[in-house]
Structure 1
């Protein structure tokens, strides 16, 4: 893919790419790649890890109240200061948890790598599994990830070994069809899923009830799925598979 012919810059000055095959950009221009990743995936996932579940009504109310305060400030100031403070507090609190194993995150799909690489910043003990049909890791070496200083090191490791690893974190790059990879995971394997595939109109096999049933089988209880999607048909497909759903200003979370 000709990445550098299709770069777009978001409101937050971070960069994304328009994918001519799917006729969509990887991120919303109105937010920007960096801001969108934090708001729609990293923040709700950290909130989930801190509280352990979205099943409790008070936890959901607390989440929505916090979202409302972040959104009101951002709408006026186009600034992430409150969110950054919350992320810092959540990250520090989570570091005190005694984990019996690494947090397991499924990233659908790798794309430009924002979800996976920012997860390495915020989740100190984790395994990330990131399928991706396209292969352009080398093209991303010099991509302007201004907020991810280790991007080139991570991408080089993924290109060379399909794996980036340190003492407490592992990121697996799974080149190929996401659906084929999902069938290889054990029941109840994942804690968190970033459901960030191209839209239902262009990629329906990653949004239907059969797909969400697969996710239901390979996620543990409790778990969370974070997504930008709010369409009724998507929420109904997730509900049919057994997930509960919560729609909010930036997207939705599915949980059990």
Structure 2
């Protein structure tokens, strides 16, 4: 059980936390934990799918790197529920910190998640008791949406190397910073993401670093600066050209 000294208040009122192993917070406290999640990851990724497919596809496969406090995965689940989505959502996510799932059972998520709290607790409790170094699967139906979580408690690269190729519509590239976790920002790593991403899929990330952009470009991705106007800018990446407002193509 983690003590409360790992918790950090962010600017929008939502809680984030500090990870001692990586000496870094899970979110930008300046942007706000929930705001960063929504504006850098959830909103642009869903807008992209709705643009490409004219509506949300009947199956959405997502790779969330990494699970962390669960904001990306749970916010996506909540947003799709709010939209009345009636398809199948599959979320794949590695998480190195085996103890995080128990700790999150006592985490004070913002009111945004209140209608889904019971489902989130079921999911967290299941993975808290799941074995390590294997892909554990939990299925749940919320209204008419089927949601499947595939969690790997272990090294992210181990999981990524056993996932099916060209399977993911969305990849949330939300690992700890390149300085703290360089293995999940290298050219070889982005090449691995390219192999997992569908032709019309999208990668979202908070980083606009020149070196990271170069790694992604060399791996074969098209890279764009994305500015929501609400939080600090991030990047959107894809194998194909993206059609978005507030985009600026990066060549280096």
TM-score w.r.t. the length of structure 1 is 0.78
In structure 2, stretches of 5+ residues that fail to align are: 131-135, 228-232, 240-252
Determine the C-alpha separation between the residues in 2 that align with 1:176 and 1:145.
24
Matched, 1:138 2:85: no
Q: In 1, are the aligned partners of 2:167 and 2:196 still within 8 Å (CA)?
A: yes
Determine the C-alpha separation between the residues in 2 that align with 1:198 and 1:103.
25
In structure 1, stretches of 5+ residues that fail to align are: 54-92
Q: In 2, are the aligned partners of 1:157 and 1:163 still within 8 Å (CA)?
A: no
Per the alignment, residue 126 of structure 1 pairs with 89
Task: Please state how far the C-alpha of 1:98 moved relative to its aligned partner.
Answer: 5.6
**Structure showing the higher helix proportion among its residues:** 1
Q: In 1, are the aligned partners of 2:41 and 2:205 still within 8 Å (CA)?
A: yes
User: Which runs of structure 1 show a deviation greater than 6 angstroms over 4 or more consecutive aligned residues?
Assistant: none
Matched, 1:164 2:138: yes
Is the alpha carbon distance of 1:216 and 1:98 closer, same or farther for their aligned partners in structure 2, counting shifts above 3 Å? Answer: closer
Q: In 2, are the aligned partners of 1:142 and 1:152 still within 8 Å (CA)?
A: no
SS at match of 1:198: coil
Determine the C-alpha separation between the residues in 2 that align with 1:186 and 1:118.
24
Matched, 1:230 2:208: yes
Per the alignment, residue 225 of structure 2 pairs with 247
SS at match of 2:64: strand
Once the two structures are superposed, what CA deviation does each residue of 1:59-84 show, in whole Å capped at 9, x if it has no partner? xxxxxxxxxxxxxxxxxxxxxxxxxx
> Which runs of structure 2 are paired with 1:36-75 in the superposition (5 Å)?
36-52=36-52
Matched, 1:179 2:143: no
Q: In 2, are the aligned partners of 1:209 and 1:240 still within 8 Å (CA)?
A: yes
TM-score w.r.t. the length of structure 2 is 0.80
